[in-house]
Structures are given as C-alpha cells and as structure tokens.
Amino acid sequence: MSSVEMAIPVADQTEAHEALPTRRAHLWRPILGLALPVALAIIWEIVVRLGWSDGRLVPPPSVIGTTLWELARTGELWQHTRATLLRVAAGFGLGVAAGTLFGAIAGYSALTRTIIDPTLQALRAIPSIAWVPLFILWLGIFEASKITLIAVGVFFPVYLGVMGAILSVDRKIVEVGRAFRLSGPALVRRILLPAVLPAYVVSLRSGLGLGWMFVVAAEFMGASEGLGYLLIDGQQLGKPAQIVAAIITFAVLGKTTDWILTSGTAPFLRWEDRFHARAGA
C-alpha cells in the first residue's frame, strides 16, 4: 500500500475527530446560553421566598410564570404576540428592501452616494420617538403608521451595512473579474455579492434587532393589541408581573427570530474560512 493510500484514511479520521468537539459545542451552546438567566431567576426566587424582598415591584419567576400561563390560557398572549409579529415582519420586509436598494446604489455609485448619503445620515440621527407624531399626522393611528415606523428603524442599519460592505470590497478582486471580462451583472453575482454577503447578514441582524425595539414605540401609538399594548396596560393597571412577562416574551421572540435569520443565511456563508468556525468557538 502506498503512502498516499495510507494517508487518506488517517486524514478522514483526523477530520472526524475534529468534527466531534464541534458537534458537542453546538449541543452545549444553547444550554450554556440559558445558564445565566436561569441562575439569576433561581436566585431571585430564593431571595423572595426567604423574605429578603417582597417581590412587589420585581416579581419572582413563579409569579411571572403564572401570569404568562394565565395570558396563554385565555388566548391574550397569542393574540398580542401575533399582532406584534405581523407588524415586525411587515416593517422588516419594507425596511430591508429599501435599505438594500439604497445601500447598493450608494455603494456602487459615487455620485449617488454624494447626493443621498448626507441626507440619510442626518435622518438617521433623529430619535425614533420623534417620528411618532409626524407619522400619526400623515398616516393615522392604524397599522400603516406603525409598520412605517418599524421600517424606518430597520432601514438605516441595512443601508449602512450594504453601502459599507460594497465600499470595503478589495479592489484587486474586482480588477481580477474585469481582467476575465466579466459583464456588469456577472461581476455583481460572482464577486461583489459573495464579498458583501457576510456584512449584509450582520446588517440584517442589526436591522431585525432595531425592528423589535421600534415596534414598542409603534405600539404606543394607540394600539389595541400587541405586546407593547400589554406593557402599557400593565403600567396603567399596576401589574408589574404582566410588564415583565411582556418583556420576556419580547426577548424570546427577538432571540428566536434572530436564530431563524442566522440559520437561514448560514448555508450561503459556508464558503467562509473563519477562525471561530474552525475552532468550534
């Protein structure tokens, strides 16, 4: 048997041994991620049960769990969650579409960037709450104004991410594509798009996070359903457990949608030879 033939199974065994810790890391990662919040919840439950705090303003996990169960049993939790999810999905879609379009144009064309970027940067500095009265005046207090506000929040990180990613593409790679006489669409598809995609995914995650933040401000605009409405209702009726339950629901939904986004885009980034991926970190 030649040395090459002997080296092949050894290499396969080495790759298998390297892949095993990575699989274990993927299994343990969610458990480790839950360790801190679960530990804090247990500690606070013990503090309240020992009488060191009355738990009135910050209810213990047992009370929050009971509140969540009651809201789920009556159907209120699903109703409000569905309304918020639909608003975030619609605003995220609009914001991503607009941010991708304007970011791609501004990154690809220096003239367009010179014209539109200063204005967009000035608009980006406006606090989200400042848009509320204007959108109510323009679009009323119904869904259009809420979705538009969420879309504004999503737009800016996506716009900046796409424009910055295009501007940071290595000039030598583009010159190689031109040396091979790639057409404009082929250059975008085979060189610019793969180079931009990792930063684009990061900008999508940032936009999604801001979308969840902006939906709270959006649901303050006269909403009759939604998790933001649950927050306001809990404040007005003096129900801190309901407020915390709504915040926890926001956190779970935000993390779940972020996981869906990263999982959905992961197949498009398998070509990356990243340090943390090879180290299993």
In 3-state terms the chain splits into helix, strand, coil percentages (rounded to 5) of 85, 0, 15
32-65 per-position pLDDT tens digit: 777 888 888 899 889 888 888 887 888 888 999 9
Amino acid sitting at position 202? V
Using one digit for the tens of pLDDT, what is the confidence trace for 15-34?
Answer: 444 444 555 656 677 777 77
Q: Which of 61, 80, 60, 62 is nearest to 71 (CA)?
A: 80
Instruction: Count how many residues are written for the chain.
Output: 281
How many Å apart are CA 142 and CA 222, to the nearest integer? 8
For position 279, what pLDDT does the model report? 42
pLDDT at 209: 93
Going 123 to 125 to 126 to 127, the CA torsion angle's sign is positive
* C-alpha 230 chain-centroid distance: 22
| Whole-number pLDDT of residue 160 | 94
User: Residue 9 CB: number of other CB atoms within 10 A?
Assistant: 9
Please identify every stretch of the chain with a pLDDT value under 70, giving residue numbers as ranges: 1-27, 184, 271-281
Report pLDDT for 167. Answer: 86
Closest CA to 128 of 210, 204, 251: 210
Collapsing DSSP to helix, strand or coil, 52 comes out as: coil
- Write out pLDDT tens, residues 149-169: 999 999 999 999 999 988 888
- The pLDDT tens digits for 74-83 are 999 999 999 9
What is the residue extent of each domain of the chain?
1-53, 60-279
Distance CA 127, CA 125 (A): 6
Give the CA distances from residue 74 to residues 71, 79, 94, 246, 252, in Å, rounded to whole numbers and listed in that order: 5, 10, 33, 15, 20
- The answer, as to whether pTM is greater than 0.85, is no
Residue with tokens 């539109």: 116
Q: Give, in order, the Cα–Cα distances in Å from 220 to each of 112, 149, 150, 186, 203.
A: 36, 11, 12, 46, 26
Q: Please give the mean pLDDT across all residues of the chain.
A: 82
- In one-letter notation, the amino acid at residue 120 is L
Q: Which CATH code, of 3.40.50.300, 1.20.1250.20, 1.10.3720.10, 3.30.160.340, is assigned to 60-279?
A: 1.10.3720.10
Say what the pLDDT of residue 193 is: 77
Tell me the two tokens of residue 172. 């030598």
Report the pLDDT value the prediction gives residue 23, as an integer from 0 to 100: 59
